[in-house]
Structure 1
């Protein structure tokens, strides 16, 4: 820092803002004005906020981490920061907002030019979930003007229009000695900024303004405190009681009573008009208390507001809830009824199914029924399949049904009922099932009922940009309707996550009110339970020659290519590697094997060492059969790493892929194994043994530690116990540490497959062994279930 006492103490309270907190902290620490301390207060947040704060404190000595022993609320968390602050000025920043670049320098310069005022008010811009930036509509109130014409430092009486600004704490800088001497503190409860802001502004002898956007105020779709449906919105009455008690104790401020009364009435009207803030059972109490406050604090002879505000004020005064809501609706109900009619249904069958579904929605839920789907109805697969199997094992009396077409009916295990997409039975199940589980989206026509539980499993750890991060990626988004996407996200009750990276991404790009389940990857459970005999049977079924090193080639989809183009010639690779290797080719499910052949040329000339496994249903079984994985940017690598077998990344178009799709980290800088950029480099990795050497093992170990912390074979069990059986999170099976896990062994032994099993899990090569296929199969190790 530039001096012993920092210029600014920036106080950031954090509670359940983990998707945004790192960006918030960086926005402060990366300012070009560095004379600051950042006091980050973990308000006993149940997510990773505390860990993110500690990591920031380890990286930057200007960060002071504060952890509260229990959840205190936003106001008291700020008070904890104030008590620890040492800077000349205090600034507050919520954990999901950010400081605009250059803001601290602009604030420091303005403070110096205006003679160190007690309060400096600056501007903000709202940042919508789409990324649109909209400046405060009342920014004109912050005009600075020419120093000779407009007051540069003033009392609020001299610029009373500032009281019309949003009453928040984070659009101001406060001289710390002024706050300390005035005894200002935030009260408990919602709307804690209201008594703080009025008290501070009315008490300040010197106020200045800065006509500049310094804070980007994030408009969260779901999860923000003031967007939460809760009785705690009734706290607003206590907060205005505090405001008027402050006035009553200071007779010299009595002339402010009419203005503050109008602000209170406007504020109460905003809360009453918001559709989702007050629970239905709290609305009558709200209007009753609003009427009491109106009568209690209305100044004698107060002027009646003009226009629509006049009627709103009158109805609040009378506590007339139903009349107020009728005025608010303004005929909206009739428009909604018309919009929900069967307009647009072209065929009678569609109309009949719609009516059938509506009837089913009126019938009771079936508490035993769970409906599953995966990959847009393409069969029994992925996390939903692992969870469905565990439901039948652990949940007494459960009835499960799977949505898929006849083409994939053979993938369903015995005892699982098939639902044909769009059939009457399908709509009945969607209307009546207690549990809905999918790794993609259900139909847009689904209406989630009270009591239904929607589990979104996703289908892999995200390397490429997803959700709202595709807003500025038109090639990848391909006309995606982000509003509709987020409507579907709002159905989710639970979102499954395999690691902290995934949790932070999902909660930011799919913002809503769901609960994250950081339980691991259910589809990877089989890797910890399969035996050597299971692997041998799978290889025999696939036709892999005994003793051959099986390499699973699983590339991902390219958004930037209109038609799939050749990325690799499996025939050439197979010929170059020789008879000791077999390639299992598994194109992305967006690209069939015939398309893949058309792009890469005909296959079959390499003596049967290139096998088409695109039609094989369970990719987890392909992983078990393979001795190594060859991929590019597919999320399969995150699952395959659980087998602790070699992985090779072929990144021939990394720059183009990253530019078109966007990625969350550089897979070539932190890969799970060696990286090739050309086909010749790839062949060299295998022919020289680098694909499974010591460096390969070291990269894989670091990758597993980062992305596979919970994958101990019990992920599906934890999900079922938490979601279907209602067991508490802390009572779920504990996670087995990675060093103690014993994944299914590869069929062909390499140095990378023989680990030190005493505890650290690091590679222990055998004397004289090489990373080439042996002439004959080595003896299998016995392995219990």
Structure 2
């Protein structure tokens, strides 16, 4: 007897069916059977099922003589199920990798509960969506089991058949059956949830719920949506035969009304001409099924539910119009208030700009004012030692205040104090451009640190790359860059590129990169602390994987490496750390995949680690594609592998200043198999890898000697001359004057 029986009803899905079945049969947990029910599908779905059944003994194809609909097709599959647990999967959806292994492990850990609920993600036809609204509830449950009577909030979990594993004997003993018509999931879901004596949750995305562009029943308006009333009548008929469930009536009544009102408000479901009749049916249901003493919940839907008892449809419409108008008026009033506040603050900024500059005030910002890291952080820390009389204030976005180190003096963007310190500060230090509404005063010194050595095209060089510069105002970028006085460079390559890509009037300071001082000097104690904090054993080999975004894949992240396969190829004694670029970290795929793999112990997700230098110190090798992180990592003189599976596409879309596959810092791979072989063969740290790295370091680690932050503080903040003993070709720093700046003619048009 298998552990799982997966019932898949099939109707007119031949374009999606193979992906669905492959997602089940390709699971790492193989103790399963698939009962695929052909609901008399008129397309080639039935033949596809027979093909899979002939190829895999775990698949059983059941062909129905007539079309009976989704719910009864599920019922038809139940008698063929022999597994401990029954799961339902719609044939245009699919399981995520590793789901059934995770489900099996959680069932074992919770002692085979009646129901296990897991999460899903909506996959729209234009790209992937986010996790469900119930993700927090699933996480909150942990590994405990509960009943709905104890925790009624779990009735708000998505009421569908395919996000649950039902213990088969529990499901059959209570005689749960899906009814014909739409909304067939609701009665069975609620019946099972209130009946179950033990419910468990798994905080893991298990199903990719496909939102089809056409053909989705829930987005096809018509009278079929009136089926919802029969479905809920069936639910309350079920309750009538079970006096022991009287406690659940108010809960389920409220959920039924919420579902009905939600459906009424959707024009893609209920046609305009049917809305009055639909509302009357909701009122009839209310009068018939309202439990004695029912009180609507303290929620947004409360007013609508109260109206059902007393108000006709025209009142419901009028209240809806008033609510929308009130909301629009409130939003408009808020917009007016915000606009007035901005105007007043700009006047305040102009007044502050008339006051003298504060020669002992420096403002710092990093990562678009969302972090305290990178070169600005390193300069700030060194300034506290060498120039303690210069007070450093960090500029951060309001939603990033909680990420600041304790005791950090800061201002939030747009605040009164923000405009005051920006108007008065002698020094502006940033690795991104400051906001365009800030005016750099004569005498202010703007130090731009950049974010690493450039491989991909930047700024002016993007003009002939429309895909890469989509959404980027190059002219505006250069206007903001006109404010730079000092541009920090780590090598001649960077110096040449910055002067070409940003044709502005600044002085290049051959300082090296302050953030890399710790890498050049090395810090074994710091590395050990980081490894200990991340739970890495002293003898584990740590591989850091840091990919970069793709300009030709706007709006969606595609994993370039099979992370599970890579971890398996590394073998025992190795730990894979995955660090995403900030722009990738915002994509839902990060939460959907990395979070799951991290929790299973397959890898360690370090995207949220505040300082990437810690991760580089703690690792033994780097895998990247085209990330500037490789130039920083080279200071450690540790192996680097460049995974360039799409180099031609990347080069065509973004452009690059040199061919990283021809001049790499280590071995180059182009497939998952090649990447695995580099590590299993030991080539990742062979003599050729060391030779390539040596050439790369000589070119790109030219000005870094572990004293970059000190050099910036001494020459910019303290006005000292360069130290001849530091070596290298380092000219004295000359900061352009206001006269130089006003006389300059634009170098772009």
3-state SS of 2:635 partner:
helix
What corresponds to 2:582 in structure 1? 589
Alignment partners' CA distance in 2, 1:515 and 1:656: 35
3-state SS of 2:369 partner:
coil
- Confirm whether residue 714 of structure 1 aligns to residue 707 of structure 2: yes
What CA deviation, in whole Å up to 9, does each residue of 1:107-164 have, x standing for no partner? Answer: xxxxxxxxxxxxxxxxxxxxxxxxxxxxxxxxxxxxxxxxxxxxxxxxxxxxxxxxxx
Question: Residues 457 and 656 of structure 2 are in contact (CA less than 8 Å); yes or no, is this contact kept in structure 1?
Answer: yes
Question: Residues 593 and 614 of structure 1 are in contact (CA less than 8 Å); yes or no, is this contact kept in structure 2?
Answer: no
Question: Residues 557 and 587 of structure 2 are in contact (CA less than 8 Å); yes or no, is this contact kept in structure 1?
Answer: no
Alignment partners' CA distance in 1, 2:402 and 2:473: 34
What CA deviation, in whole Å up to 9, does each residue of 1:394-437 have, x standing for no partner? Answer: 11411000011355445544553111111111111110000001
Question: Residues 365 and 432 of structure 1 are in contact (CA less than 8 Å); yes or no, is this contact kept in structure 2?
Answer: yes
Residue 673 of structure 1: how far off its partner (Å): 0.5
Alignment partners' CA distance in 2, 1:460 and 1:375: 12
What CA deviation, in whole Å up to 9, does each residue of 1:646-697 have, x standing for no partner? Answer: 1111001100000000000000001001110001100000000000111111
What corresponds to 1:453 in structure 2? 445
What CA deviation, in whole Å up to 9, does each residue of 1:276-329 have, x standing for no partner? Answer: xxxxxxxxxxxxxxxxxxxxxxxxxxxxxxxxxxxxxxxxxxxxxxxxxxxxxx
- Measured at CA, do residues 736 and 640 of structure 1 come closer, stay the same or move farther in structure 2, by a change above 3 Å? farther
What corresponds to 1:502 in structure 2? 494
What corresponds to 1:734 in structure 2? 727
Alignment partners' CA distance in 1, 2:424 and 2:456: 36
Question: Residues 632 and 651 of structure 1 are in contact (CA less than 8 Å); yes or no, is this contact kept in structure 2?
Answer: yes
Question: Residues 345 and 351 of structure 1 are in contact (CA less than 8 Å); yes or no, is this contact kept in structure 2?
Answer: no
Alignment partners' CA distance in 1, 2:460 and 2:534: 40
Question: Residues 398 and 413 of structure 2 are in contact (CA less than 8 Å); yes or no, is this contact kept in structure 1?
Answer: no
What corresponds to 2:596 in structure 1? 603
Alignment of 1:546-625 (within 5 A): 546-562=538-554, 563-592=556-585, 595-597=588-590, 603-604=596-597, 608-625=601-618
- Confirm whether residue 690 of structure 1 aligns to residue 683 of structure 2: yes
Residue 585 of structure 1: how far off its partner (Å): 0.6
- Confirm whether residue 493 of structure 1 aligns to residue 493 of structure 2: no
Question: Residues 387 and 720 of structure 1 are in contact (CA less than 8 Å); yes or no, is this contact kept in structure 2?
Answer: yes
What corresponds to 2:376 in structure 1? 384
Alignment partners' CA distance in 2, 1:695 and 1:459: 29
Residue 608 of structure 1: how far off its partner (Å): 1.5
Superposition TM-score, scaled by structure 1 size = 0.49
Question: Residues 569 and 679 of structure 2 are in contact (CA less than 8 Å); yes or no, is this contact kept in structure 1?
Answer: no
Residue 729 of structure 1: how far off its partner (Å): 3.1
Question: Residues 454 and 494 of structure 1 are in contact (CA less than 8 Å); yes or no, is this contact kept in structure 2?
Answer: yes
3-state SS of 1:443 partner:
coil
Question: Residues 721 and 732 of structure 1 are in contact (CA less than 8 Å); yes or no, is this contact kept in structure 2?
Answer: no
Question: Residues 526 and 614 of structure 2 are in contact (CA less than 8 Å); yes or no, is this contact kept in structure 1?
Answer: no
3-state SS of 1:367 partner:
strand
What CA deviation, in whole Å up to 9, does each residue of 1:18-60 have, x standing for no partner? Answer: xxxxxxxxxxxxxxxxxxxxxxxxxxxxxxxxxxxxxxxxxxx
What CA deviation, in whole Å up to 9, does each residue of 1:717-763 have, x standing for no partner? Answer: 111111111112355733599xxxxxxxxxxxxxxxxxxxxxxxxxx
What corresponds to 1:481 in structure 2? 473
Residue 482 of structure 1: how far off its partner (Å): 2.3
Alignment partners' CA distance in 2, 1:354 and 1:344: 15
- Confirm whether residue 725 of structure 1 aligns to residue 684 of structure 2: no
What corresponds to 2:693 in structure 1? 700
Question: Residues 556 and 587 of structure 1 are in contact (CA less than 8 Å); yes or no, is this contact kept in structure 2?
Answer: yes
Structure 1, 589-598 or 476-485: larger mean CA deviation: 589-598
- Confirm whether residue 424 of structure 1 aligns to residue 416 of structure 2: yes
- Confirm whether residue 435 of structure 1 aligns to residue 424 of structure 2: no
Question: Residues 673 and 699 of structure 1 are in contact (CA less than 8 Å); yes or no, is this contact kept in structure 2?
Answer: yes
- Confirm whether residue 399 of structure 1 aligns to residue 391 of structure 2: yes
Residue 604 of structure 1: how far off its partner (Å): 2.6
What corresponds to 2:654 in structure 1? 661
What CA deviation, in whole Å up to 9, does each residue of 1:627-651 have, x standing for no partner? Answer: 1111000000000000011111100
- Measured at CA, do residues 600 and 346 of structure 1 come closer, stay the same or move farther in structure 2, by a change above 3 Å? closer
3-state SS of 1:672 partner:
coil
Alignment partners' CA distance in 2, 1:612 and 1:390: 30
Question: Residues 564 and 599 of structure 1 are in contact (CA less than 8 Å); yes or no, is this contact kept in structure 2?
Answer: no
Residue 598 of structure 1: how far off its partner (Å): 6.1
3-state SS of 1:368 partner:
strand
Alignment of 1:299-310 (within 5 A): none
Structure 1, 435-444 or 536-545: larger mean CA deviation: 536-545
What corresponds to 1:351 in structure 2? 343
Alignment of 1:7-156 (within 5 A): none
Alignment partners' CA distance in 1, 2:421 and 2:567: 48
Question: Residues 593 and 612 of structure 1 are in contact (CA less than 8 Å); yes or no, is this contact kept in structure 2?
Answer: no
What CA deviation, in whole Å up to 9, does each residue of 1:543-582 have, x standing for no partner? Answer: 1123111111100011110211121121221012212211
Structure 1, 687-696 or 485-494: larger mean CA deviation: 485-494
Alignment partners' CA distance in 2, 1:640 and 1:492: 27
What CA deviation, in whole Å up to 9, does each residue of 1:58-101 have, x standing for no partner? Answer: xxxxxxxxxxxxxxxxxxxxxxxxxxxxxxxxxxxxxxxxxxxx
What corresponds to 1:134 in structure 2? none
Alignment partners' CA distance in 2, 1:491 and 1:651: 36
What corresponds to 1:752 in structure 2? none
What corresponds to 1:631 in structure 2? 624
- Structure 2 alignment gaps of length 5 or more: 1-334, 731-749
What corresponds to 1:75 in structure 2? none
- Confirm whether residue 537 of structure 1 aligns to residue 529 of structure 2: yes
3-state SS of 1:502 partner:
helix
- Confirm whether residue 643 of structure 1 aligns to residue 633 of structure 2: no
Alignment partners' CA distance in 1, 2:434 and 2:606: 28
Residue 474 of structure 1: how far off its partner (Å): 1.1
3-state SS of 1:671 partner:
coil
Residue 344 of structure 1: how far off its partner (Å): 11
3-state SS of 1:543 partner:
coil
What CA deviation, in whole Å up to 9, does each residue of 1:483-537 have, x standing for no partner? Answer: 2222111101000111000000000110111100111111110113343222111
Question: Residues 575 and 606 of structure 1 are in contact (CA less than 8 Å); yes or no, is this contact kept in structure 2?
Answer: no
Alignment of 1:264-279 (within 5 A): none
Q: In the comparison of the two structures, how many residue pairs are matched? A: 395
- Measured at CA, do residues 594 and 541 of structure 1 come closer, stay the same or move farther in structure 2, by a change above 3 Å? farther
What corresponds to 2:113 in structure 1? none
Question: Residues 456 and 492 of structure 1 are in contact (CA less than 8 Å); yes or no, is this contact kept in structure 2?
Answer: yes
Residue 699 of structure 1: how far off its partner (Å): 0.5
Residue 701 of structure 1: how far off its partner (Å): 0.6
Which of 664, 670, 682 is the equivalent residue of 1:671? 664
Alignment partners' CA distance in 2, 1:419 and 1:451: 22
Alignment partners' CA distance in 1, 2:624 and 2:592: 17
What corresponds to 2:116 in structure 1? none
What corresponds to 1:146 in structure 2? none
Alignment partners' CA distance in 2, 1:599 and 1:567: 16
Superposition TM-score, scaled by structure 2 size = 0.51
Residue 600 of structure 1: how far off its partner (Å): 5.2
